[in-house]
Amino acid sequence: MVNNLAKLPIQTLVKEPKIVEKFESVLGNKSAQFVTSLINVVNSNQSLKNVDQMSVVASAMVAASLDLPINQDLGYMWLVPYGGKAQPQMGYKGYIQLAQRTGQYKHLNAVAVYEDEFQSYNPLTEQLDYEPHFKDRDSSEKPVGYVGYFELTSGFEKTVYWTRKQIDDHRQNFSKMSGKSKPSGVWATNFDAMALKTVLRNLISKWGPMSVEMQKAYESDEQATTISTNDIKDIEAQEQEPATDVSQLINGNATEANVNDSTTNSKDSE
């Protein structure tokens, strides 16, 4: 049964021929290294060991299809346990990487702003009175806000500044996996990195050019309701009849899905 797959240890699951084939079809000769990284990620996180392991593979496949590493220390893509399943959660470095691949961004960055650096910001004119101070910060000192900026090769520029409170309000309203009044998960351990991701995500999705790859990343990010034990075949295959046993699921024939080449952006959510 599919449930049997969900309970298999990840090091066993990724050896199933059909799953091996899927990773190889996406990553080519980088597949073995990626799968080793996946095993290390799960083995170092007891919470990921306890969720549906097929959802772990499906979340990893999202990262693989975007050619982003899942090493949790790098911050391109995190695999986050939520509601008994693993979900993909983009980092700000992932958005920067995908934007760079379009060849349309001349400059793109986001930084934390501290109280002694910030004077004022006009959201209408996008005039930010900001003077960076390059000094070591006390661990208790928190940024008062986060600023994102890009310049396209065409010369178009955009700047967005969010206060820390705006970031936290957005987190509570739109990020189901982040907790409520008290941040949890990646937001608890890497608040600044997730705040930078939120600013960049908003900046790029509203005003920047988005490739099909970037749209896919945007739509997949933190989508807790879209990943199930069947998604490992749905990522590359059209919908099939439910498998009746393990061998049918692993060895069943798959048909390549058509990629949606839509250029419309998804609604702004975290």
pLDDT digits (tens, 9 = 90+) for 156-215: 999 999 999 999 999 999 887 787 888 888 899 899 999 999 999 999 999 999 999 999
Q: Which two tokens stand for residue 84?
A: 């008994």
Distance CA 25, CA 29 (A): 9
pTM of structure: 0.75
For 189-210, the three-class secondary structure string (H helix, E strand, C coil) is HCHHHHHHHHHHHHHHHHHCCC
Q: Tell me what pLDDT residue 22 has.
A: 93
Bridge partners of 90?
Answer: 77
Q: Give the closest residue to 60 by CA, choosing from 51, 52, 50, 70.
A: 70
Give the Cβ contact number of residue 131 at 10 Å.
9
| Alpha carbon 10 to chain centroid, angstroms | 21
Q: Which two tokens stand for residue 124?
A: 């209408």
Q: Which two tokens stand for residue 178?
A: 């982040």
Q: Tell me what pLDDT residue 249 has.
A: 34
Which residue matches tokens 């298999």? Answer: 8
Bridge partners of 149?
Answer: 109, 159
Distance CA 143, CA 191 (A): 10
Q: Tell me what pLDDT residue 255 has.
A: 34
Is the alpha carbon torsion for 226, 100, 60, 42 positive or negative? negative
Q: Tell me what pLDDT residue 223 has.
A: 64
